[in-house]
Structure 1
Amino acid sequence: MTHATHLTDAERTAVALTSPNGLEVRADVVRTGTGPRVVFLHGLVGLNEHWEEVVARIRDKAECITLELPLLELRGDDCSLWSVVEMTQQFLDRHVDGPSVLVGNSFGGHVALRIAHRRPDLVRALVLAGSSGLIERTMVRGAPVRPSKEWLEEKIGELFYDKSVMNPGDVERAYKLLNERGGARAMVKLSKTARRDNMTDDLADIACPTLLIWGKQDVVTPPSAGQGFTELMPDARIVWLENCGHAPMLESPIPFAEAMRSFLDELETRER
């Protein structure tokens, strides 16, 4: 299955961010829709286009902003969870007007959680799908320095309950990125920095409304992780998606969007 593109009329720009080491990092941004701001953050091998099926279904009631950082091109001290948190905060400060709903998948969910903890003024609410930060089964242990397409196809396939959802183009892109000098090393390093940052003791401090959207068949951040977030965060609830793995915005975009629409309505009602 290829991911449909519904956002032909969206505004697409590149923004320059500054890494903690002072290097310029170019990020791709897509904006569409009107209403309260919702910012989407991808995982380690994610793309802006991975959110398109969800964005197409909620942009009538939200300004949807997808941020794509070149994570696997980060090097040295800039290649860490904390560096990505800092650059994402920078983007929100400079390019997003006021607090927003942060939506994060996997590593992107972890980034969203850290921002909510450090800079609650930037975050109206959270939507987390397969977020790291509590329990995560590494996908990169034993990763070869130059992974083969077969290895990548197997690993990316593990993200899905229904393997037919996997886009062959994503495997090709990951193969290219991870075989460029330092790409595989960057993925391993980013994954390690995320696993070392266990948020158990900090989640009680994140008071914003939080919606968890979790695949029942997620083998990377299993259901126990979603349940853990629900129990440890003061204002969190969870929507379980059956027959769905680690990337529910790709595998179950319709129920994902429906859950988000309900959540946005709830936020509006609560804030009246």
Structure 2
Amino acid sequence: MSTRPFLAFACAHMTDERLYAHQIEALSATHDCKVFVFREQSSMGAMAEHLLAHTPERFTLIGLSLGGYMAFEVIRQALHRLERLVLIDTTAVADHPARRDGRLRDIAAVQKGGIEALIPELPSRWLLPAHTSDAALVALMGSMAHSVGALGQYHQQTAMLGRPDSHKDLERVKVPTLLICGRQDPVTPVSDHEAMAACVPGSRLIVIEDCGHLSTLEQPTAVTQALCQWLDCSLSNS
């Protein structure tokens, strides 16, 4: 059995293992890393149960967007299992009506036209405008969305529609906690991360410049450096 620290990476909506490729390349020499893509689970509870069934008794949880929403459910179910927590480009705020309506429209669009009906919209929704002209990044987003598929998209959206406000759950967290956010994140803004950080005494917030919602891909080096430095520090202080 490995004695190395275990990192569980929880993926965002419409992304797969490649969301964290740069970070895992840097960390796999010193940590056991496992990435979770939620295609089959249609509730946050089921996603959390799946992750908890495939992680050791104690681990660090790293979640981006949907992965962060799922992390709040892990807090509700098994806070004692967490050694450290990293929340990236996410929010503890429940969906407001306009966002719920948007999710329902996306479900309807994919049911009618397949996953291809949604893929062209994703870069402008999530990326820093300057990054929407990055052909390789845009192609990667499309490939990851195909990997999740129409049924996976339906399950993920259904799970997100049912999530509660999670600020009170964050107030229970006593383990080292890092928050990372793109400065220009159009989906989960810096102010949401400031509100989450205020719930966890001693937490740290790092804002990544020139970056939208997919910070691990838009500014991979900056995110990896921040994560590596913080993990070293939090491990030595734990």
TM-score, normalisation: structure 1: 0.74
Q: Is the 8 A contact 2:15 2:148 kept in 1?
A: no
Question: What's the counterpart of residue 91 of structure 1?
Answer: 54
The AA in structure 2 aligned to 1:52 is: A
The AA in structure 2 aligned to 1:246 is: H
CA-to-aligned-CA distance 1:215-268 (integer Å, 9 cap, x gap) = 011111111111111111223110000111111111111111111111111122
Q: Is the 8 A contact 1:130 1:246 kept in 2?
A: yes
1:175-194 map, 5 Å: 178-179=149-150, 182-194=151-163
2:203 is the alignment partner of 1:236: yes
Q: Cα–Cα, structure 1 residues 146 and 255, in superposed 2: closer, same or farther, change >3 Å? A: same
1:58-97 map, 5 Å: 58-69=27-38, 71=39, 73-74=40-41, 79-92=42-55, 96=56
Question: What's the counterpart of residue 89 of structure 2?
Answer: 130
Question: What's the counterpart of residue 153 of structure 1?
Answer: 120
2:167 is the alignment partner of 1:208: no
Higher strand share: 1
C-alpha distance in structure 1 between counterparts of 2:43 and 2:113, whole Å = 21
Note the residue ranges of structure 1 that are not aligned, 5 or more in a row: 1-32
Q: Percent identity?
A: 20
Q: Is the 8 A contact 1:40 1:65 kept in 2?
A: yes
2:134 is the alignment partner of 1:168: no
CA-to-aligned-CA distance 1:121-156 (integer Å, 9 cap, x gap) = 211001110123226673535221334636421234
Q: Report which structure shows greater RCO (CA 8 Å, sep ≥6).
A: 2
TM-score, normalisation: structure 2: 0.83
- After superposition, the CA RMSD in angstroms is 2.5
1:107-146 map, 5 Å: 107-134=66-93, 138=99, 140-143=103-106, 144=109, 145-146=111-112
Q: Cα–Cα, structure 1 residues 90 and 210, in superposed 2: closer, same or farther, change >3 Å? A: same
Question: What's the counterpart of residue 260 of structure 1?
Answer: 227
Q: Cα–Cα, structure 1 residues 177 and 259, in superposed 2: closer, same or farther, change >3 Å? A: closer
Question: What's the counterpart of residue 246 of structure 1?
Answer: 213
Query: Which stretch of structure 1 is more off in the superposition, 130-139 or 219-228?
Result: 130-139
The AA in structure 2 aligned to 1:142 is: R
1:219 to 186, 191, 196: 186
Note the residue ranges of structure 2 that are not aligned, 5 or more in a row: none
2:24 is the alignment partner of 1:48: no
Query: Deviation at 1:211?
Result: 0.4
Q: Is the 8 A contact 1:134 1:198 kept in 2?
A: yes
CA-to-aligned-CA distance 1:164-220 (integer Å, 9 cap, x gap) = 1634243255357554xx5554343122023xx111222211111100010011111
C-alpha distance in structure 2 between counterparts of 1:120 and 1:184, whole Å = 27
C-alpha distance in structure 1 between counterparts of 2:144 and 2:222, whole Å = 27
Q: Is the 8 A contact 2:94 2:166 kept in 1?
A: no
Q: Count the aligned residue pairs.
A: 225
Higher helix share: 2
The AA in structure 1 aligned to 2:121 is: E
